[in-house]
Amino acid sequence: MPSWSTSTSIELSKCWPSQGWCPNFAIVGARAILPSAATARADRFTCDNGAVNAPSLIDQLNDAAQRAGLVALGVAAVEPFTDTREILETRKADGLHGGMAFTYRDPVRSTDPERILAGACSLVVGAFPYAAGQVNEPSFDGPAGRVARYAITDHYAALRSALDQVAAVLEAAGHRTRVVLDDNALVDRAAAQRAGLGWFGHNANLLVPGYGSWVVLGSIVTDADLSPSEPVPDGCGTCRRCLDGCPTGAIVAPGVVDARRCLAWLVQAEGTFPMEFREALGDRIYGCDECQEVCPPARRSPQAKETIDASSSWVDLLWMLNAEDDELLSQVGRWYIPRRDPRYLRRNALLAIGNSADPHDADVRAAVEAFALADDEMLSEHAKWSLQRLGERAQAQR
């Protein structure tokens, strides 16, 4: 369990404005940033419930957050996120959303916390750390598909449980609460940024000082009138490792991801996987971590020293090709799979096999050939690509 510190802003101020990576991050502890004094801003969004920044309540919230494993907690005002709404609309108009729904479905709704809870006064936003450590090699033989760290286990369930525990403190004090995370209801990164949890990285992720981006984010929308936290200044400076490290050039400008090129989206998107990004997919089967793997603050997270259980970070690709639909969904059904159609899991598996399996393995070839000959047009086409790629790789090894 990381140590909590309320002195982070003093330590961090040594780093900003930064001209690149700040070496002091490694010594910065987790953030307990709920303001302790009853200092509600006079100019804030109308909220007539009366400020409730009683030090005892703030202490209880911080204690509950710490016990529940959150590494940062902050408060944001509930004004609509109009800047983010504009960004969503502009990116949608420019096609950068690549057909995604989520927060793009209804930008007005996703940027207005009052739609979640009428009479809301504050957002209490939390960050839950996940799998930042060393990923072990697969524990089985044969081709292995890499699972992005955020999906290794259900970190969103852990985050929800942590936020529920913090919300219970507010409820016990007589306030109404709604917990939202990773759905269409709210733009989670913008909420976290406004709540002072971290800064917008050039890789578009929200980076928490001392932890980097290996955190998932969620909010408690409440009618409790709490004082907003101070924002965190930019910590990227002139660094651009994520832009240069992205295998498909999807970060088209600092903080701007073109989903049409982003592997994390393409593995979730319906239809044919774009030809030009198939090789770049490598052995990935779900999600993509490259723009975080190269990120110095993410590498220095306290969790980076831990080793991650290999059994959940790799999936047996031959099993994916051969398993029945029900079995596949029972194992990885919590992933976002278009239309809940397991064919998309097999589509991704075929590409990952082409890119990473032993090209001389007869079992691999037989499994892929079966799909190449099958009636399913989409899978047959991806299987043929996979066979060709295996052939090219076998040739290159001679």
Closer to ligand SF4 by Cβ: residue 69 or 233? 233
Residue whose tokens read 């408060």: 75
Closer to ligand SF4 by Cβ: residue 71 or 267? 267
Please pick, from the candidates 91, 146, 300, 382, the single residue that binds ligand B12 as defined by CB under 6 A.
Answer: 91
Nearest distance from residue 155's CB to ligand SF4, in Å?
16
Closer to ligand SF4 by Cβ: residue 246 or 368? 246
Residue 188 contact partner, candidates ligand SF4, ligand B12, none, CB within 5 to 8 A by sort of partner: ligand B12
Q: Name residues contacting ligand B12, limited to 158-217 (CB under 6 A).
A: 181-183, 186-190, 200, 202-206, 213, 215-217
Nearest distance from residue 338's CB to ligand B12, in Å?
12
Question: How many of the chain's residues bind ligand B12 (CB under 6 A)?
Answer: 41
- Residue 182, Cβ density class (10 Å: 0-12 exposed, 13-18 middle, ≥19 buried): middle
Of the candidates 56, 12, 67, 17, which has an alpha carbon nearest to the alpha carbon of residue 34?
56
**Residue 219 sits in the site that holds ligand B12 (CB under 6 A):** no
Spatial separation of the C-alpha atoms in residues 117 and 178, rounded to whole Å: 7
Nearest distance from residue 170's CB to ligand B12, in Å?
20
**Which listed range, 16-24, 251-259, 312-320, 349-357, lies at the site for ligand B12 (CB under 6 A)?**
251-259
Residue 40 contact partner, candidates ligand B12, ligand SF4, none, CB within 5 to 8 A by sort of partner: none
- Collect all residues with Cβ–Cβ distance below 8 Å to 162 and sequence separation of at least 6: 65, 68, 69, 70, 126, 128
- Residue 310, both tokens: 């290999």
Reply yes or no on whether 182 is catalytic.
Answer: yes
Spatial separation of the C-alpha atoms in residues 43 and 96, rounded to whole Å: 35
Cα dihedral across residues 179, 185, 190, 194: positive or negative: negative
Spatial separation of the C-alpha atoms in residues 317 and 357, rounded to whole Å: 9
Please pick, from the candidates 262, 281, 332, 337, the single residue that binds ligand B12 as defined by CB under 6 A.
Answer: 262
- Residue 233, both tokens: 């200044």
Closer to ligand B12 by Cβ: residue 99 or 391? 99
**124, 166 Cβ separation under 8 angstroms:** yes
Spatial separation of the C-alpha atoms in residues 73 and 362, rounded to whole Å: 53
Of the candidates 181, 214, 153, 154, which has an alpha carbon nearest to the alpha carbon of residue 30?
214
Nearest distance from residue 226's CB to ligand SF4, in Å?
29
- Cα 300 to its chain centre, rounded Å, is 18
Of the candidates 286, 149, 145, which has an alpha carbon nearest to the alpha carbon of residue 211?
149
Closer to ligand B12 by Cβ: residue 7 or 272? 272
Nearest distance from residue 204's CB to ligand SF4, in Å?
7
**Residue 372 sits in the site that holds ligand B12 (CB under 6 A):** no
* Choice among 59, 63, 106, 182 that is catalytic: 182
Strand segments (E) across the chain = 4-5, 30-31, 72-77, 122-129, 134-135, 144-147, 177-180, 199-200, 206-207, 215-222, 251-253, 256-257, 284-286, 307-308, 314-316
Nearest distance from residue 203's CB to ligand B12, in Å?
5
**Residue 281 sits in the site that holds ligand B12 (CB under 6 A):** no
Interface residues toward ligand SF4, by CB under 6 A? 201-203, 236, 239-242, 246-248, 250-251, 257, 262-264, 288, 290-291, 294-297
Residue 297 contact partner, candidates ligand B12, ligand SF4, none, CB within 5 to 8 A by sort of partner: ligand SF4
Q: Name residues contacting ligand B12, limited to 47-86 (CB under 6 A).
A: 84
For the chain, the first-to-last Cα distance in angstroms comes to 50
Binding interface with ligand B12 (CB under 6 A): 84, 87-88, 91, 100, 102-103, 148, 150, 181-183, 186-190, 200, 202-206, 213, 215-218, 254-257, 259, 262, 264-265, 268, 287-289, 291
Which residues are known catalytic residues? Answer: 182
